[in-house]
Structures are given as C-alpha cells and as structure tokens.
Amino acid sequence: MEQETAASSISESMISLRDLRVSYGDREILHGVSLDVERGETLVILGGSGSGKSTLLRALVGLEKPSSGQIFIKGKDIASASPAEMDEIRKKIGMSFQGGALFGSLTVGENVALPLREHTKLENSTIEIMLRLKLEQVGLAGFEDYLPSQLSGGMKKRAAVARALAMDPEILFFDEPSAGLDPIIAAGIDDLILELKKAFRMTIIVVTHELASAFLIADRMVLIDKGNVIAIGTTAEMRASAQPRVRQFLDRVAEPEVARELDYLQMLTEDYRRPSRTLAKRRGA
Amino acid sequence: MRLLTELGGSVTNGLSYIGALASLGGQAAYSTFVGPLRGKPLRIHRAVSQAMDVGVRALPILSLITFFIGLILALQSAYELRKFGAITYVASAVAISMSRELGPLITAIVVIGRSGSAFAAEIGTMQVTEEIDALQTMAISPVQFLVAPKFLAMVVMLPCLTIWANAMGILGGALFGVTQADFTWGRYIQASVDALFLRDITSGLIKSVMFGVTITAVGCHEGLSTGAGAEQVGRSTTRAVVMSIFLVIVVDLIFTALFFFMSDR
C-alpha cells in the first residue's frame, strides 16, 4: 500500500528525488536527498556555502550523475535515461545560471534564439517574433543586437532567463538569481520570478542563500546542510520552525569558529583519502 | 617495484589520454560526416568562420616562416652539396624536404600556436563561465556545437595551408638559388617541380590531415577538461600547446615510418 502511494506520487509530481547521493571522487556531497516538487509550485533550496545545494541543482538538470538514488522528472528517471531521452527531458526545462552563461560571441538575440534554431524548424521570421516576445517578458525589449559584454549584471541575468524561457519550459531552474546584484536589481529579478510564476504556472526551483528573496518567492523551502535535507516546509512552517539548525540559518547566527575548523579539517582529510589509499597499496606491494 | 608501479601508472594515464582524444575525435568526425545524414545539420557558417581563423588569418605569418625555412634549408644543403660541386641539387633538396616533412610540420606548429591554443582557451573559458553546462541543459551537444566545426575547419584548412607552405618554402630556396647558384627563377622552379613525385606531396598532405585531427582533439579536450577558475584556463592552454607539439611529432614519426616501409616494396 505504501509502495503504491509512493509510486503514484512519483508520476504526479513534477520532480521526485529518492535517496539521491552524489559524490565527487571519494567525497560524498549529497547523502541521500528525497523530496517532491509539485506542478506549478516554487521551491527554494536554501543552504550555506558548501552545503551541497548547487550540486543538488546540477544533479536535477543532469549535469552531475548521481552515485545512487533516482531523480524523476515528470515520472522519468533521468539517472538511467539514455542521452536521447535526456535531451527530450532537457527541452522541457530551462536553466538560468549564476553568471548568466550567455555565449560571449553571440548577441543577446542570437543567444535567446539558439535553442529555437537548434530544436525547432521554425521560420526565421517566427523566431524573430518569439525572441522579441521573450526579451519583452524579461524587460529587455530592444536589446537583441547587444553583445553580453555590453550588458550590466542584472541585464545579463534577465537575458539568461529569456534564453531559459525560449523553449516554453515546464520547469525553470535558477542558480543564485540575485548573487552579485545590488538590492534593487535583485528585487527586480525576484519580481520577474513572481511574474513568471503567476503568468505561466511554471514549476520553479530556485537555489539561493538570500533569505529575504527566498521568503518572497517561495511556496515551499528546503534547507540543505552538509548534504542532508534538514528541514522542508512552507514559508510559514519554516518561519515557525524550532529546529536549532533552521533557526541558526534563518536568524543568521554565526557558526563558532572551532567547529568550522574541525569541519574544514575533516573535509581536507576526506579529500586526501584517495592518495593515501594508493600509498597504502604501494606499501603493500 | 615502486618504479614499475609509477611506470605502469603513467602508461595507463597516457593510454587513457589517447583514448579520450580518440573518443572526442570520433564524436567530432561522427557529427561532421554522419550527423548531417541523420537530420542533424552541420553548422557550416560556424565552420567557415573557423576556417577563416585557422586558415586565412594564418597565411601572413606562415608565409614568412616557411619562406625563411626554405632559405635556411637551401643554405644548409648548399653547405654540403657545394663540396661535391652539386650545388644545383639545392632545388630538389629543398623541394623534397619541404613537401615531405617541413611543410606539414611547420604548418602544424604555427597552427598549434595560433589555433590549438585558442581552442583550449575558448572552450576552457566557456567551461569556467558555465557556458558548456548551459549548452548541455539546452540539449545541445558541446561536441556537435563547438568541436565539430573546428574539426571540419582544421581537416580542410591544414592541407591547404601545407600546400601554400610548400610553395613558400620553395620560393625561399629559389631566392638562394637565384642569388648564389646561377639559377634563374624559372629554372629553379622547373628543377623543383621535376624533383618532386606526386607521392612526396600526397604523403605530406596525408600527414597534415592527421595533424589537423590531433591538434583539434588535443585543443578541445584540454578546453573541455578545464577545472574551475581563470588560472585553469591558462594551464589548459599551455598543456594544449605542449601536448599538441608532442603528439604531432609522434604522429609524424608513425606516418613517416609507414610511408618509408610502404614505398620500399
């Protein structure tokens, strides 16, 4: 019975993670993350630097292969998908990278039009119209002939969102949308996310450590710490949470230095586990 | 024992590096030649602009270098030949060594310096700024989008550049021939043409195609395996140049030996 409900939630949810583990070499970054994202909701993934939140996002869009566990996107496990199946899934998602990741050699217009030119057989004139629409949506009308290097940080982010929207995705991912932006521009990006949510009922996943922006845009939040989900709930539930780690993060209490050093030391030793093992092997030989 | 383990380790590393290059080269060749037949059109305009960069813009510096190389070859061979009163053989010595060996090799070295390094730097920077990741999340294959046009441009342009380099080398030799060995321009060129067999030129061109494949594979592989951070781009670029020069020499040796034993029979 329990199994049945689990299976049905996988097929109904937009995204389902089941015991997701991701490792870089010998070091495990995510220690078994499970969560579900429903259609049309905005989930904010919160966490400090090095918590594994960016790795989680990279795994969700298929840039990191999980070492074990499953990632279901619209009921399809991308951990075991073939490259062709993966491409089909990727056409339904859009991703806005932290630094924009616009192609420097292409103009803003060409950047936005790129997925359309690659994946559709639309006429050039149709593509022109679509790219104008997308740029208008993000407030960059008239900037199609600019090069990314001629745009400000906030405009680059907007252009990147326009490119992520080009294929009318069902799921939109944001990596640190307000990182490196001044508060006013960052608020503008938050408004943009809210508009997209309202206008298209898109499923939106945002990775951030900006609390103010997180509470503004989220329906639900996940707090990740050292590769584990330590809290998940609506914004109200998170605000009311009495869990010490959640409180520490939300109330912005500084970590005691000593503990951090120990963590750091542990991280270092874990990093060096592999060379020391080969050394042991050599000694054995 | 330790020495053996280390030797084994570096052999495995070397083999896996060659394997990675071969896999990248294979994917690029697939996207270039098979992909278009399967409804994945090749980006011809990207290949053309790469060909401009790799080929046409290299012409001035390549011309100058190979002209000098031809002149040096003439001087060096004349040094020995004049002892036998055979200074008129300068023309054939220059023509043969240019088209069999130095034309393709010098062209490859110039292209490594200009384009192999640029491939690594360009792709490495794209790796650092997450542009490669962005391509992947848009379901666009980085190999098909970035590597294949470069591959096509290199495989076409390197033989073209090599032919040009041979001609400039012979011209450099002719300068010596005319001023020091009583040739006229016309007679020198005629002597060069007479000395050359078709296989001298084709063997050089086959090598240059292989050099093109090697340079593209190394440059793009180094770019794609760039770590995080700007200093890594510099490291990739350096590695691309050093590895390309080394591997081009290895490929050169293999093919020269192959041609030698094939022509023997």
Domain locations along chain A: 2-92+169-277, 101-168
Q: State ipTM.
A: 0.82
Q: Does any domain span residue B28?
A: no
* Pick among B53, B130, B224 to test the A interface (most A CBs inside 10 A): B130
Please give the model's pTM, rounded to 2 decimal places. Answer: 0.85
Burial category of A219 from C-beta neighbours within 10 Å (exposed 0-12, middle 13-18, buried 19 and up): middle
Pairwise CA distance, residues A219 & A216, whole Å: 9
Q: Does any domain span residue B263?
A: no
Average the pLDDT over B162-174 and give the result. Answer: 95
| pLDDT over 90 percentage in chain A | 25
> Is A115's CB within 8 Å of B140's CB?
yes
Burial category of A196 from C-beta neighbours within 10 Å (exposed 0-12, middle 13-18, buried 19 and up): buried
* Least trusted range by pLDDT, from A138-152, B32-46, B54-68: B32-46
Q: Does any domain span residue B36?
A: no
* Min Cα–Cα distance to chain A from B130, Å: 5
Q: Does any domain span residue B145?
A: yes
Pairwise CA distance, residues B181 & B188, whole Å: 10
Strands of A220-225's sheet in order across: A93-96, A171-175, A203-208, A42-47, A220-225, A228-234
> Is B5's CB within 8 Å of A282's CB?
yes
> Is B131's CB within 8 Å of A87's CB?
no
Among the partner residues B2, B130, B139, nearest to A101 by beta-carbon distance: B130
Interface of A with B in 154-213 (CB under 8 A): 163, 167, 173
Q: Does any domain span residue B265?
A: no
B5 contacts on A by Cβ (under 8 Å): 282, 285
Pairwise CA distance, residues B143 & B46, whole Å: 13
Residue B1: pLDDT over 60:
yes
What Cα–Cα distance (Å) separates residue A245 from each residue in A12, A241, A250, A267? Answer: 31, 10, 9, 20
* pLDDT given for residue A278 in this prediction: 38
Pairwise CA distance, residues A112 & A24, whole Å: 32
Among the partner residues A97, A104, A114, nearest to B130 by beta-carbon distance: A97
User: Token pair of A38, please?
Assistant: 């429903």
Find the domain containing B184 and state its range: 47-256
Q: Does any domain span residue B134?
A: yes
A88 contacts on B by Cβ (under 8 Å): 139
Question: Are the C-beta atoms of B95 and B203 separated by less than 8 Å?
Answer: no
* pLDDT given for residue B235 in this prediction: 93
Sign of CA dihedral A227, A228, A234, A238: negative
B137 contacts on A by Cβ (under 8 Å): 61-63, 90, 93-95, 173
CATH of domain A2-92+169-277: 3.40.50.300
| Single-letter residue type at B259 | F
* Min Cα–Cα distance to chain A from B62, Å: 26
* Min Cα–Cα distance to chain B from A260, Å: 24
* pLDDT given for residue B100 in this prediction: 92
Interface of A with B in 91-110 (CB under 8 A): 91, 93-95, 97-99, 101-104
User: Token pair of A33, please?
Assistant: 């993350």
> Is B138's CB within 8 Å of A285's CB?
no
Listed as ranges, residues in chain A with pLDDT below 50 are: 1-5, 272-285
E strands of chain B, at which residues? none
Interface of B with A in 135-174 (CB under 8 A): 136-140
> Is A101's CB within 8 Å of B136's CB?
no
> Is A97's CB within 8 Å of B138's CB?
no
Contacts of A261 (CB under 8 A, 6+ apart): none
- Tally of domains within chain B: 1
Residue B177: pLDDT over 60:
yes
* Min Cα–Cα distance to chain A from B126, Å: 8
Question: Are the C-beta atoms of B222 and B240 separated by less than 8 Å?
Answer: yes
* pLDDT given for residue A279 in this prediction: 38
Q: Which helix (H) or strand (E) element contains residue B183?
A: none
* pLDDT given for residue B181 in this prediction: 86
A62 contacts on B by Cβ (under 8 Å): 136-137
Pairwise CA distance, residues B129 & A180, whole Å: 15
* Pick among A95, A147, A174, A278 to test the B interface (most B CBs inside 10 A): A95
Contacts of B244 (CB under 8 A, 6+ apart): B112, B116, B214, B215, B218, B219
Indicate the average pLDDT of chain A.
Answer: 83
Q: Does any domain span residue B42?
A: no
* pLDDT given for residue A8 in this prediction: 54
- Smallest Cα–Cα separation from A155: which of A128, A181, A174, A129? A181
